[in-house]
Structure 1
Amino acid sequence: MERKFYYNATQRLCSSLQLEESLQSYFELIKQVLPIDGIFLNIYRPEFSDIQFLAHVNDQLATPLENQVPISKEMEQLLQQADRPVIRIVNDISLDSVTQFVAPKVIPGIKSLILMRMVSGNTHLGIVGFYSKTVGVFKTKHADMIEPHMQTFSLITAFNLKDRNLLMLNQALTQQNRSLKRVIFTPNGVVGGNAGLKKVMNQVEAIAKLNTSVLLQGETGCGKEVIANAVHEQSSRSSRPFIKVNCGAIPETLIDSELFGYEKGAFTGAEKRKAGHFEQANGGTIFLDEIGELPLSAQVRLLRVLQNSTITRVGGHNSVQLDIRVIAATHRNLQAMVHSGEFREDLWYRLAIFPIEIPSLRQRRSDIPILVQHFLEVLSAKFNLSKLPRVSTEQLDTLNSYQWPGNVRELMNVLERAIIQSPQGPLNFDFISASKSEEAVETSSGETIVIDPSHASDKLVPLDIMISKYIEHAMRVTGGKLYGTGGAAELLDINPNTLRSKMKKLGIC
């Protein structure tokens, strides 16, 4: 009789390559002789300090599981004890601290169990839990009845885990793809669009459907191109070209031919007509990054394009009509450049119809964790890592306390460096705290400015000269305005009369 029962149990456990299906077939047999409400399988993963559930079956369901329950170091020590029995009865779950903590998180209502360890050779694979939702139902004869099935359970679990390992690369890629879609395709298509950039994204939503020019302002590396792309993607032009131009990267002698194109024979080497960036973007959007780097001569021609919606190719005479939306971006203070004569006032008014100020990373520190997760997934795919490197709470605190003068771009570079140094993790960012020398200063207007002494020369000049030069710079920034709102005295947070006295003393006209 016992031999027949063992044979039937083995047959059922080996009846399917799907763990949950073979477990269901076995459960239908074993519940006839055991007072159980269900069976579960889990494994202890010391590398992750957790217990992962593999499958669960009861009268209502048979399902594979992916639940992971983190456990404490004290619990790990209990699980690693060599004298833990292969099978044991726990008629009151409160008597087993690990099971009491772990099992109800996945399967509520468990009151008593028979726990059977699965072992393959010297390897502890995990646990089969035969459970009841009633206290004190199991007897020694019940444990004796299922103990012979331990090797079969171990065998099918080992095959299941091996199959998971063989598919690990495909699963990792699938998970990375799923995670990337989840993070990248957040509402508005911007990481942090519902958090630190929510105000910005509200402005994007307000302006996207219109054809109005947009000016994006913010520090280098804060994500101006990402926001420009979001404006384009939410506009009616989303299916048309989105042309990106770095105005600071074009030599002054080539600006006209790069932006507006040229006709065949316009100059030596012009063997055929070429469409410039504006013509390439016709019907869509052109993104003029670092617009403040354009020389005054190019600013005049750009203004004409914005006013007339036409261009003329270099060496040509016929105008080309454009239907185009312009998004400009800069990290510079264009208003100050207008006052100092470095930027045309009429172009400023034409571009700044709808300015959007993008906050720096240190102004939206709440976004750092989700940006870290996003970049870890991107970089893990880039480096073909099988799993995401871990970041401890302490190291995340290091990232949160750093000032990020290079903003989001610097954060990605820091994460890439950390992964290169330790691909399997945990990641360490002590190198940024060791090199941290800058200081964030908040002005009276609430603006945060980073001061980094590491960029200063070791050669010092008399303090009066430095003060004199700084006051002269403030006067250039304000266009010579000393008093009132936006004047040099206000920006320097000093009484106007005191500033006037200092200027007189230092010989500043």
Structure 2
Amino acid sequence: MEKHFYHESTLRLCSSLQLEKSLQSYFEFIRDELPIDGLYINIFRKQFNDIQFIAHVNANQSCTLDRQISIPEELAQCLDDPQRPRVRIVNDIEHDPITALVAPKVISGIRSLIILRMSIENTHLGIVGFYAKTTGVFRPRHADLIAPHMHALALITALNLRGRNLLKENEALSKQNVSLRRTLDVQNGVVGANSGLKHVMQQVQSIAKINTTVLMLGETGCGKEVIANAIHELSERSDKPFIKVNCGAIPDTLIDSELFGYEKGAFTGAESRKIGYFEQANGGTIFLDEIGELPLSAQVRLLRVLQNSSITRVGGHDAVQLDIRIVAATHRNLQAMIHREVFREDLWYRLAIFPIEIPSLRQRRTDIPLLVQHFIEQLSSKFNLPQLPRVTPEQLNILNQYAWPGNVRELINVLERAIIQQPSGPLDFGFLAPHQGEEITTQANQTVIIDPNYASDKLVPLDVMTRKYISHALRITGGKLYGPGGAAELLDINANTLRSKMKKLGIV
């Protein structure tokens, strides 16, 4: 009897390449021996903390499914336990919290069931639920009858899942790429081009095709290089060189030779002519990052490039004509540097023909989910991860609440750290200190974070701190006290009151 039952059941399970047809044939046979109203197959997806129903058969229908039901973390851990029994009788669905949670959302009326775990090569694949709409109908003999079917059921399930992936691979990849582009809101490599950076991209669109010098202003790490690249890509020079130069990374003694090149014999060790960054960018665009770090001597030569579109190599005499576009960037207050006479005013006017202010990450928090998804994609490829780590809404909220003093660059570092700690996900950002700072908007409409977390526990007298702060304000403004851009305006205090405080505190 049992041998015949096993043999016939196996033949029916293997009767068709279509899962729903083979399950229907199987169900019609075994229902004569078991008091079942139907059966279903689902798989546990650990990486998503959900259960996916892939097939359901009853007296009225047989169909494949693609329905996912999320489950709490603690229940997911239970399913991941390799010691769970292969066959289990549950004569009241309320005695199995996982089934009670997920099954009624897909199939109504289940009251009791036999759960058969499927495994292939010691890998848990999923379960087959043989269910009845009456409580207490199953006996051990029923479980003994279907237990030997586990391998055949696991095989046809695995083949079905593989078939779905193979048959839909190209379509799925195409849809995924379209979805990602739409979700990530990427335009010319800029994430958030139609949201947090919409105004910036409108400026980029208006200036890209004009060969005007552009100056980008913004905090360190806010993405000035990305915007510079977008300007180049949208310009008529997009097929020409795009040379990036970090002015702050070049030693003062090498600035001229690196930017403008040198002739053979110009100095000891100059055994041949070297082409500088400006000549390398000829016909294209040169991006001068951290322009405020250039020494005055180099600023003079840069001004000549802007005025005459020519350079002279170190040790040379002939001018070299260039056709280049200059895009500069800085996080410094160049106007304050002009007051301190460490930045040339005439160079400022040449650079600031079309200034673009790049907002900080905390000023465009709506872009954080987009940036997170974008960088997780990149980092997963970098670390060769088999699947993208998941970010829960609670963890995403931590990122949304954080102050981001390091802007987008800091976000990348935070994501990389989280992926290193938990490459399979879900990612945990608990290592980020809760933001307790206060955002202050200055007279110049700039956002400043006041955060005691970054302050020392060692305090100084208030008058000392006030004197230091006023002196710092005067350094920023180049000693200017009154009028627009003066220390009184920046500190939001009456100029005469500030003068009185300075006299009291001994500030000359």
Q: TM-score range by the shorter chain?
A: 0.7 to 0.9
CA distance, structure 2, for counterparts of residue 74 and residue 407 of structure 1 = 35
> What is the CA-CA distance between 1:348 and the residue it aligns to?
0.8
The aligned residue for residue 341 of structure 2 is: 341
> Is 1:277 the equivalent of 2:277?
yes
Which stretch shows the higher mean deviation, 229-238 or 421-430? 421-430
Aligned pairs for 1:410-429 within 5 A = 410-429=410-429
The aligned residue for residue 34 of structure 2 is: none
The aligned residue for residue 35 of structure 2 is: none
> What is the CA-CA distance between 1:158 and the residue it aligns to?
5.6
Mapped contact 1:188–1:201 kept (Cα < 8 A): no
RMSD (CA atoms) = 4.8
> Is 1:473 the equivalent of 2:472?
yes
Mapped contact 1:179–1:377 kept (Cα < 8 A): no
Mapped contact 1:118–1:125 kept (Cα < 8 A): no
Aligned pairs for 1:13-28 within 5 A = 13-14=13-14, 21-23=17-19, 25-26=21-22
The aligned residue for residue 154 of structure 2 is: 155
> Is 1:449 the equivalent of 2:445?
no
The aligned residue for residue 92 of structure 1 is: none
> What is the CA-CA distance between 1:117 and the residue it aligns to?
4.9
Percent identity over paired residues: 63
SS at match of 2:253: helix
Give the TM-score, by structure 1 length: 0.76
> Is 1:267 the equivalent of 2:267?
yes
Do the aligned partners of residues 264 and 391 (structure 1) sit closer, same or farther apart at CA in structure 2, a change above 3 Å counting? same
> What is the CA-CA distance between 1:283 and the residue it aligns to?
1.0
Mapped contact 1:404–1:410 kept (Cα < 8 A): yes
1:355-395 Cα distance to aligned partner (Å, 9 max, x none): 11111112222222222222223222222333333434443
> What is the CA-CA distance between 1:112 and the residue it aligns to?
9.3
The aligned residue for residue 493 of structure 2 is: 494
1:438-480 Cα distance to aligned partner (Å, 9 max, x none): 6543324442123466777888765445434433433343344
Do the aligned partners of residues 312 and 163 (structure 1) sit closer, same or farther apart at CA in structure 2, a change above 3 Å counting? same
Do the aligned partners of residues 338 and 49 (structure 1) sit closer, same or farther apart at CA in structure 2, a change above 3 Å counting? same
The aligned residue for residue 404 of structure 2 is: 404
Mapped contact 1:10–1:152 kept (Cα < 8 A): no
SS at match of 1:288: strand
Mapped contact 2:19–2:64 kept (Cα < 8 A): no
Amino acid at match of 2:18: S
SS at match of 1:253: helix
CA distance, structure 2, for counterparts of residue 457 and residue 77 of structure 1 = 42
Do the aligned partners of residues 496 and 15 (structure 1) sit closer, same or farther apart at CA in structure 2, a change above 3 Å counting? same
Segments of 5+ residues of structure 2 without an aligned counterpart are 32-37, 94-98
> Is 1:250 the equivalent of 2:250?
yes
SS at match of 1:272: coil
CA distance, structure 2, for counterparts of residue 423 and residue 253 of structure 1 = 44
> What is the CA-CA distance between 1:422 and the residue it aligns to?
3.3
The aligned residue for residue 389 of structure 1 is: 389
Which stretch shows the higher mean deviation, 380-389 or 223-232? 380-389
The aligned residue for residue 204 of structure 1 is: 204
Amino acid at match of 1:504: K
Which stretch shows the higher mean deviation, 347-356 or 373-382? 373-382
CA distance, structure 1, for counterparts of residue 62 and residue 231 of structure 2 = 47
Do the aligned partners of residues 97 and 409 (structure 1) sit closer, same or farther apart at CA in structure 2, a change above 3 Å counting? closer
Mapped contact 2:488–2:495 kept (Cα < 8 A): yes
SS at match of 1:410: helix
Mapped contact 2:55–2:63 kept (Cα < 8 A): yes
> What is the CA-CA distance between 1:337 and the residue it aligns to?
1.1
CA distance, structure 1, for counterparts of residue 240 and residue 49 of structure 2 = 50
Aligned pairs for 1:86-485 within 5 A = 98-101=102-105, 103=106, 117-120=115-118, 125-126=125-126, 150-151=149-150, 154-157=153-156, 159-160=158-159, 182=181, 186-433=186-433, 440-451=439-450, 463-485=462-484
SS at match of 2:51: strand
Mapped contact 1:468–1:506 kept (Cα < 8 A): yes
Give the TM-score, by structure 2 length: 0.76
Mapped contact 1:88–1:116 kept (Cα < 8 A): no
- Number of aligned positions between the proteins: 477
Do the aligned partners of residues 209 and 404 (structure 1) sit closer, same or farther apart at CA in structure 2, a change above 3 Å counting? same
CA distance, structure 2, for counterparts of residue 437 and residue 419 of structure 1 = 25
SS at match of 2:42: strand
SS at match of 2:191: coil
